[in-house]
Structure 1
Amino acid sequence: MTTKIRAFVLSFSDGQEVFYSGQTVSGKCLLSIDAPLKARGVRLAIKGEAHVFWTKLKSRRKESSVGVDRGENYTEQYSSREVYFNLRTTLWGKGEKDRKGDNPVLPAGEHIMPFAFQLPSSGLPSSFEGEHGHIRYWLEATVDRPWTNDYKTKRAFTVHDVIDVNLDQMVVPIEANDERTLCCFCCKSGPLYVEARLDRCGYCPGEAIAISTCVRNFTNREMRGTRARIVQTAEYFAQGSRHKSMREVALTQGVPIQSGLTDEWHNRLMTVPAIPPTTLQCRIIRITYIVEISVVVPNGVDVTLELPITIGTVPFRRSHPPRTRGGGGGGHHHNHHHQQRRHGGGGGGDSQPPTYAEAMGNTVTIGEPNERYVIGDLRYTPLYAYVHDYHFHPSPPSASSSSSTSSSAQAGGGGSYQQARAPNERTRLIQDASGGGSGGGHTS
């Protein structure tokens, strides 16, 4: 009689699906069969690795059989793997290397087999699923059957590196400025001056970046407006080569700026969507972020400032001392180091345990392409720390020019914030090409 597998499922204790280095991953393996099953055993492995893969089309010269030199195209493959752990145990049956004697028989019915693994205490980068690679952690259970194909099931989980956005270097403001003179044929106009400032350098998903800008348009043409966006850069490394991809994950845009006027944003808010943290501990995948502030120049090259930020996993607490703003330099960003240090262990007055949100547009299938006899749902979406009902507490704004057009964000009440918009302004989160969700938070 052929045994039918009714259910083969892995689940985590208390529904926990997000873990940190050193924590214990525990749960149970449920195997339900309608007839006795003869097998060597039921094995369970827990794995963590980074893997990258991409191809590149190249050309080369090749001499033909008749001596004619000709060109040909070929595809070169790049791949690399970094293993963090691969731990195995037997949940039922004989040991994995035991091949002596008869194999045991698992009776028909439902069998629940508990498990527990302790993750390594350090060196685990945050989970990431990208176009050309991943950092992935998963469980893999196998019914080890003699002389036939094994049954398998898999379940991925998310690991977070501890990136605390409350560290001193994360809570200081960052700013940049630039000035450009626009030319059109023989005509030279006045300068376009751009200054931008972020309230800090580190953010968790769900928190809002407070953006302050000042654009002085002394040119003889109208600018199309100020634009701010969060840009994610993913770099993959293999065989001495690098592959780089960039994507826009959030955007906010202002109104046109007439010639001779100044446009200012005072703490304009842009919510960080559910995106992967900055990657610090992986040698073959690097994830970084910038806030790009641009003034859109019609029929010309935009004036752009790039302000690097860190996306973390420990939410911001408001127990920090007041900070002062330093001077800026042309075309460069500056971190302003404050002179006071925070004391104590840190849970500020409005500190809350993090909740989690699914990564925007990052659902993947964790099965291998030619893998057979794998049972269950293999879809996986990473979960990232997400701050719901984020409250922004602005510092007192500086006086603005009487000839300026401005848009500012006010602190909201009752667990929300509001953003004042001028006509035709827009704020949106960017979904990936597969149509994935925006990952939660919104700006309204």
Structure 2
Amino acid sequence: MDDLRIEYDAPNGVYFPGQAVTGKVVIQNREWIKARFLKICIHGGAHTSWGDTERRHRIDDKGRSEHYNEHVTYNATVNYLSGESIAWKSTDGQNGSVRYKIQVEILRIKKSKMEVEKVFSVLPYVDLNSIPRAGLPLEDSISWLPKKNTEVKFKFYIPKRGFVSGDTIPVSVDIENGSSSKISTITMKLIQINHFEAQQQTSHTAKEFFRFNRKNIEEEISRIQKKCDTAETLRFELEIPKETRPTFKTKLIHLAYKVAISIGNDKKLECELPIILGTVPVQPRPPSYSVAVGMSGPPCYEKMDHTYTIEFDQPNAIYVPGQLVRGTLTIYNACALNALSLKICIHGEVETFWKKFASKDRVKKAYPNDHTHGGPRSHGHYYKYSDHTKYTSKLNVVTAVSQPWSSIQNPTNKIPIGANIFPFVFQLPVNCPPCFEGTHGSVRYHVHVELNRPWSLDVEAKRSFTVIPILDLNMIPKVMNPMLSNACKHSGFLSSREFSIPKGGYTPGEVIPISVFIHNHAKKPIYYAKAKLMQHVHYQAQQENTHMLPDEHCHKHCEHKTAESVISEMEKSFEIKCCSEGEVQLALVLPNPLMPTFQTAILEVDYCIIVEVEEDKKLRCEFPVTIGTVPIGRVMGLARAPTYSIVEGDIPLVVEAPPEYQERVEVVMASAPPSE
């Protein structure tokens, strides 16, 4: 045989996800080839591999215990082209890769087998318009207390989260410096995060039960640095290189990006903003129907297929509990569309999920009559393997269906050509929870369309919307009262602390004043104290293989899981000498935005303030607080609900005392009509 090669129809062998890989196998031979078959295979998958050194423990024959270092290799492979479509791009990394290739195999008679392979590339297609959060703005803030009663606050803002290669990320920084301290520089970096997952390499028969280990590698892509004064607004333009790969995620490899912001050389003044990189940029919203009707000419439907567009009446599709969700479904079709029914549905649910890993024992059966397993001397033995149990629960919040079109009212069973607009209106429950995304659960809402077509696949389109809460702290009496707590320690001498906060309810952006009165009768002075706001997310779920369905939740047969995270923290230095007393004022700043407190049957979010004096657990205090959207002392207007992400917490509150009884009597008498 002179030549055996593979040729692709696409230039340079480059394809997109969902595209057909076409080509040909060229065999140039001078004589007949005796062969049994010619096989052409396509292969694509992800592979991860790395080595690490782990500390191990063992006991020798004499019963002595010793520690030693052992080199461990981790690897894993996932095939993406076994009855599936190409889902991810071709990429090569330090600890993993995603590759695609075509293999040709010729099994010849009485001769060696002939094989040839050729690699092709798969370019990604990430449409940022299909990711709802890609068009939403991103903001965060950090604060610094250099001196007493002074605060330096930094607010960061990015107009959107989705970008493409070659774009510039506009970042605005607002600096509020109420102190005399100078701020040196602000540095911004674009960081690429590579997550790799693999299993430990072993000859164990039950390797599929071994849990995956994760390895994260961060790489700096670009950087920009500016000097700043005491108080000003800075604009940064962080460039994204054109060769930067878009964001993608597989079972073994996950590629993500973030903007890391650092102020000076202080590690406490750092902030991270996650972004999404795609290939199709975020487009502005299409014009409304009234604008489209007023255009000079009708749209050309010959250049487009059937498209389904869901539009909401509220900007950015943001609603509050109890509000009407209004919108329109627009179907653009180039020809008459055969259909039986059209349904527009709204759905919202709370979902919790996680996996629990455990080590179990298994017995390997004996083979007494099989000489390949040792013959009559083969006995069963125990070995351990790792197994996981899935826990999941679902709670339905809102479900409704509207049928604006049916073949019963239209005997032709056809949706006419052109733009067909179908309005919809749904009512949200008054007590529905807000949208939430957590590590083991979420609260999500969406509107989806179901078009039932005869002798064809049904069409489904979906668009998510956001529900923000309204929690008026004035309606909760207990959060208006001050909170006090005491802590004592006996170590030969008595030391006590008295902690207090003025109220138990706050809104995002407020400053929580914390008073600490210290009686120090110990032998050494006290130098510092710190406070932090903790967020507790409580999840409940039941085992997946129980007799109940995920939406049939029962508290008696469920597991609990709690995730804790530090939302805000601060530390203050001082000195209270031994055998003396002193009072310290701490100011804890709440970030904005911040998820308010809410509770459902399977998911709950609450907060607490932890105050510590020199990291002594015996001198530690916790205050459970409620985070709302309407601050105490302010009456929420009936005409317009407040915005969830913009709550002013620093406006002074003036609460006037009610008039005396005599004043109320005079007012009533003055307003009465004169006697006849």
Taking every aligned residue pair, what percent have the same amino acid on both sides? Answer: 22
Equivalent residue for 2:624, pick from 289, 304, 308: 308
Q: Match of 2:463?
A: 154
Equivalent residue for 2:539, pick from 229, 236, 241: 236
CA distance in 2, matches of 1:94, 1:199: 64
- 8 Å Cα contact 1:3/1:37 also seen in 2: no
- 8 Å Cα contact 2:306/2:334 also seen in 1: yes
Q: Match of 1:207?
A: 510
- With over 3 angstroms needed to count, the CA separation of the structure-2 counterparts of 1:180 and 1:222, relative to structure 1, is same
CA distance in 2, matches of 1:3, 1:150: 17
- With over 3 angstroms needed to count, the CA separation of the structure-2 counterparts of 1:273 and 1:221, relative to structure 1, is farther
What SS class does the counterpart of residue 413 from structure 2 fall into?
coil
Q: Match of 1:270?
A: 589
Q: Match of 2:473?
A: 164
Q: Give per-residue Cα distances to partners, 1:205-232, cap 9 Å, x unaligned.
A: 2333222222344434454521111111
State the Cα distance separating 1:249 from its structure 2 match.
0.8
In the alignment, is residue 257 of structure 1 matched against residue 557 of structure 2? no
CA distance in 1, matches of 2:653, 2:516: 18
State the Cα distance separating 1:352 from its structure 2 match.
9.0
State the Cα distance separating 1:274 from its structure 2 match.
2.1
Equivalent residue for 1:104, pick from 397, 408, 414: 414
- 8 Å Cα contact 1:278/1:311 also seen in 2: yes
In the alignment, is residue 17 of structure 1 matched against residue 17 of structure 2? no
Moved more, 224-233 or 257-266: 257-266
Rg comparison, structure with higher value: 2
Q: Give per-residue Cα distances to partners, 1:294-321, cap 9 Å, x unaligned.
A: 1124xx6473201001122333225xxx
Instruction: Give the letter for the 1:49 counterpart.
Output: E
Q: Match of 2:444?
A: 136
Q: Match of 1:354?
A: 642
- 8 Å Cα contact 1:203/1:312 also seen in 2: yes
Q: Match of 1:175?
A: 484
Gaps of 5+ in 2: 1-301, 367-379, 543-557, 656-676
Instruction: Give the letter for the 1:279 counterpart.
Output: F
Instruction: Give the letter for the 2:589 counterpart.
Output: M
1:35-434 alignment, distance < 5 Å: 35-66=335-366, 67-94=380-407, 103-108=413-418, 110-121=419-430, 123-146=431-454, 147-160=456-469, 162-182=471-491, 190-223=493-526, 225-239=528-542, 240-260=558-578, 262=581, 264-266=583-585, 268-280=587-599, 282-297=600-615, 301=617, 303-317=619-633, 353-357=641-645, 386-388=646-648, 390-392=650-652
State the Cα distance separating 1:42 from its structure 2 match.
3.5
What SS class does the counterpart of residue 170 from structure 1 fall into?
helix
State the Cα distance separating 1:264 from its structure 2 match.
3.1
- With over 3 angstroms needed to count, the CA separation of the structure-2 counterparts of 1:269 and 1:52, relative to structure 1, is closer
Instruction: Give the letter for the 2:510 counterpart.
Output: E
- 8 Å Cα contact 1:62/1:70 also seen in 2: yes
- 8 Å Cα contact 2:308/2:329 also seen in 1: no
CA distance in 2, matches of 1:75, 1:215: 49
User: Larger relative CO (CA 8 A, sep 6+): 1 or 2?
Assistant: 1
- With over 3 angstroms needed to count, the CA separation of the structure-2 counterparts of 1:284 and 1:354, relative to structure 1, is same
What SS class does the counterpart of residue 47 from structure 1 fall into?
strand
CA distance in 2, matches of 1:137, 1:264: 49
CA distance in 1, matches of 2:520, 2:332: 71
CA distance in 1, matches of 2:420, 2:640: 39
Q: Match of 1:363?
A: none
What SS class does the counterpart of residue 356 from structure 1 fall into?
coil
- With over 3 angstroms needed to count, the CA separation of the structure-2 counterparts of 1:247 and 1:101, relative to structure 1, is same
- With over 3 angstroms needed to count, the CA separation of the structure-2 counterparts of 1:294 and 1:204, relative to structure 1, is same
In the alignment, is residue 4 of structure 1 matched against residue 4 of structure 2? no
TM-score normalized with structure 2 length:
0.43
State the Cα distance separating 1:107 from its structure 2 match.
1.2
Instruction: Give the letter for the 2:559 counterpart.
Output: S
- 8 Å Cα contact 1:39/1:106 also seen in 2: no
Q: Match of 2:211?
A: none
What SS class does the counterpart of residue 169 from structure 1 fall into?
helix
Moved more, 125-134 or 228-237: 125-134
State the Cα distance separating 1:12 from its structure 2 match.
2.6
TM-score normalized with structure 1 length:
0.64
Q: Give per-residue Cα distances to partners, 1:298-355, cap 9 Å, x unaligned.
A: xx6473201001122333225xxxxxxxxxxxxxxxxxxxxxxxxxxx569xx99522
Q: Whose helix fraction is larger, Structure 1's or Structure 2's?
A: 2
RMSD: 3.3
- With over 3 angstroms needed to count, the CA separation of the structure-2 counterparts of 1:68 and 1:212, relative to structure 1, is same
CA distance in 1, matches of 2:592, 2:622: 19
How many residues get paired? 323
CA distance in 2, matches of 1:195, 1:84: 43
Q: Give per-residue Cα distances to partners, 1:241-290, cap 9 Å, x unaligned.
A: 1011101111122115354365533473523532222223x111121110
- 8 Å Cα contact 1:38/1:106 also seen in 2: no
- 8 Å Cα contact 1:43/1:88 also seen in 2: yes
- 8 Å Cα contact 2:470/2:630 also seen in 1: no
- 8 Å Cα contact 1:250/1:273 also seen in 2: no
